[in-house]
């Protein structure tokens, strides 16, 4: 019995070693009898939609030493230290350590130094090519592109989100050695080639990006805000044509030693942060009302309906006021179009309360609030939307004009685009395609329709109303003679610790052109401007400047029906 058991045990052990454990043992043997020289894959480039290179590589080298193969450690340490500008004592200590058979002497060494080092023919010293990430446009698109770690791994932004495509796969050059790591004479090297990463083409147009960043720098100089952000969207595809935040930083000089500053500068506020949108949200309320009226819902107001002259509305003990005191009959008895022009809060309170929570929340869901848009970028915010079951009358009233709700910039931009493009809500995207240097396209991101929000008829009516805001209302500073521009301003007070923060505002403007066939949409958000704070004064001119720049860049002719 004991003999049988022993035989079974030995047979089982033999089977385990020869079959199950064989792959690992082969790997260990190969590791003992070979020296691996890494061949680093080249990281893929990132370009704009026109081929402008935004992220590229420069060649550098990593120097290694096989301690057992270094015949004269004292001389070798001196040569390495002098050639590479290192501390001789530290290099010598590395070479004489018994625990490490292979050491990394230096990384990111230039080609000229490697040539000098090669001329010395040091035993046991070798090097491999490395790649250093470089950003030709420095701080342009910095929050979107992100950056890589010292090991060339994507850390933030597009570099991180698409790292599996950009990074490629490293190769190796294997040399046969003896047990102490010295190369065997007559051995043949085995070459395992690296697979370079794929290139990523963004939807961003660098020409428009330059225009946007220039406009944000100007508003920052004039009003010294805490931050300023802008997104430009293709209304018909939801491709992001530009996305910028101020302040920015140089991607070639990332402040890695100051984590607080690094987190602040690298955060993409348009995608990851939220704010109370204020009056820009009235576009959504108007869209819901117009669509419901066209459907025959008697709770909705017609476009000809005249809202009463009262400038206050009491709801659940909360008073909603219009910013105007209606002196001399100003802003009294106004239609929906005039209410948009004048940005009169009680009118939109009436709409939200009349439509009711169920209907209004259906539109909030269709327009993407309280959920992610699905943009191909990490850390997107859901926004803040009260649960439908918890909404009181006063909450619904305030949501109607952009309070008691918090949204991200990407959410509001997409919602507005859908409201004026015929009611089509697409998934926004930053990447157009992923391709190899030889032209092979691995992946192409097409426009993806998520849902419909409103009808084309309702969308057309709303777009024309928003054109009136630019011609006659609060958005006059975004007006461009000869071109049909629509939009809406917003000015929202900020809250701190549950209370209104005195003197702190978010100024914003969302606009688009041309009104009859919308193509370009821009959302501008300026946080805590100094000296002036109305969206009509601070943010609207920024959008106007951006639209002017796009018109010049794309050589867009004036509208015949302006």
Residues acting as catalytic residues? 279
What is the rounded CA–CA span in Å between residue 280 and residue 416?
Answer: 9
Q: How far apart are the first and last CA of the chain?
A: 102
How far apart are the C-alpha atoms of 461 and 408, rounded to whole Å? 26
DSSP 402-443: T-S-BB-HHHHHHHHHHHHTTSEEE--BSEEEEE-TTS-EEE
Q: E strands, 235-349, where?
A: 240-246, 312-315, 318-321
Distance CA 136, CA 66 (A): 37
Residue tagged 């002259």 (tokens): 309
DSSP-derived pairing of the beta strands 227-234 and 520-527: antiparallel
Say which residues have a Cβ less than 8 Å from residue 185's Cβ, sequence separation at least 6.
Answer: none
Nearest to 413 by CA among 492, 342, 272, 512: 512
Contact 197, 166 (CB under 8 A): yes
Which residues does 332 contact at the CB level (< 8 Å), separation at least 6? 309, 326
The conformation of residue 178, written as its DSSP 8-state character, comes to -
Residue 562, CA distances (Å) to 474, 482, 485, 555 in order: 19, 6, 9, 17
Beta-bridge mates of residue 171: 39
Q: Is-contact 75 25, C-beta < 8 A?
A: no
Distances (CA, A) of 449 to 428, 446, 457: 10, 10, 19
Local structure of 151: helix, strand or coil = coil
* 68 contacts 103 by C-beta, under 8 angstroms: no
In the three-class reduction of DSSP (H, G, I as helix; E, B as strand; rest coil), residue 102 is classed as strand
Cβ proximity of 548 and 480 under 8 Å: yes
Residue 232: closest CA among 446, 556, 431, 519: 519
As a whole number of angstroms, the distance between CA 181 and CA 67 comes to: 8
Alpha carbon 382 to chain centroid, angstroms? 15
**DSSP per-residue string spanning 337-400:** HHHHHHT-HHHHHHHHHHH-HHHHHHHHHHTTTTS----SSTT----B---GGG--HHHHHHHT
Residue whose pair of structure tokens reads 């002017």 in the numeric block: 548
Question: Among 392, 371, 382, 414, which Cα is nearest to 284's?
Answer: 414
Q: Which residues pair with 226 in a beta bridge?
A: none
DSSP label at residue 541: H
DSSP 152: S
């Amino acid at each position: 019995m004991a003999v049988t058991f022993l035989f079974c045990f030995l047979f089982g052990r033999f089977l385990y070693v020869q079959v199950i454990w064989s792959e690992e043992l082969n790997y260990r043997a190969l590791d003992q009898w070979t020296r691996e020289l890494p061949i680093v894959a080249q990281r893929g480039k990132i370009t704009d939609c026109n081929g402008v290179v935004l992220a590229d590589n420069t060649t550098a080298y990593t120097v290694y030493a096989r301690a057992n193969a270094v015949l004269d450690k004292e001389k070798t340490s001196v040569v390495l230290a002098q050639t590479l500008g290192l501390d001789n004592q530290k290099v010598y200590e590395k070479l004489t350590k018994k625990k490490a058979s292979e050491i990394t002497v230096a990384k990111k060494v230039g080609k000229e130094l490697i040539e000098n080092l090669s001329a010395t023919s040091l035993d046991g010293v070798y090097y491999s090519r490395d790649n250093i990430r470089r950003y030709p446009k420095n701080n342009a698109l910095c929050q979107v592109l992100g950056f890589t770690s010292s090991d060339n791994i994507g850390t933030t932004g597009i570099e991180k989100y698409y790292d599996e495509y950009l990074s490629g796969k490293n190769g190796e050059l294997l040399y046969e050695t003896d047990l102490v790591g010295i190369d065997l004479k007559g051995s043949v090297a085995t070459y395992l080639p690296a697979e370079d990463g794929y290139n990523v083409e963004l939807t961003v147009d660098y020409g428009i990006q330059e225009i946007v960043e220039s406009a944000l720098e100007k508003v920052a100089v004039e009003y010294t805000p805490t931050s300023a952000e802008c997104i430009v969207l293709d209304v018909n595809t939801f491709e992001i044509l530009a996305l910028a935040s101020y302040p920015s930083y140089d991607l070639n000089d990332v402040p890695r030693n100051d984590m607080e500053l690094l987190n602040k500068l690298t955060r993409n506020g348009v995608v990851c942060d939220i704010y109370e949108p204020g009056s820009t949200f009235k576009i959504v309320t108007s869209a819901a009302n117009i669509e419901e009226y066209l459907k025959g819902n008697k709770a909705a107001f017609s476009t000809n309906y005249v809202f009463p002259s009262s400038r206050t509305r009491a709801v659940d003990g909360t008073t909603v006021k219009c910013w105007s005191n209606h002196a001399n009959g100003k802003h009294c008895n106004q239609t929906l179009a005039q209410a948009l022009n004048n940005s009169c809060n009680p009118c939109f309170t009436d709409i939200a309360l009349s439509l009711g929570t169920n209907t209004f929340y259906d539109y909030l869901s269709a327009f993407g609030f309280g959920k992610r848009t699905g943009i191909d970028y990490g850390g997107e915010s859901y926004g803040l939307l009260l649960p439908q079951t918890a909404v009181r009358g006063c909450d619904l009233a305030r949501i109607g004009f952009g309070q008691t709700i918090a949204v991200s910039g990407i959410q509001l931009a997409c919602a507005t685009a859908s409201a004026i493009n015929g009611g089509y809500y697409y998934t926004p995207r930053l990447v157009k395609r992923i391709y190899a240097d030889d032209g092979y396209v691995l992946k192409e991101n097409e426009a993806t329709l998520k849902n419909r929000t409103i009808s084309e008829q309702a969308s057309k009516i709303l777009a024309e109303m928003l054109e009136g805001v630019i011609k006659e209302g609060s958005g006059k500073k975004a007006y461009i003679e000869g071109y049909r521009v629509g939009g809406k301003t917003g000015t929202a007070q900020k809250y701190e610790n549950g209370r209104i923060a005195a003197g702190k505002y978010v100024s914003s403007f969302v606009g688009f052109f041309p009104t009859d066939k919308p193509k370009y949409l821009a959302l501008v958000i300026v946080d805590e401007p100094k000296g002036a704070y109305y969206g009509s004064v601070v943010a609207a001119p920024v959008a106007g400047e951006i639209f002017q720049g796009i018109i010049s860049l794309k050589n867009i002719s004036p509208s015949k029906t302006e």
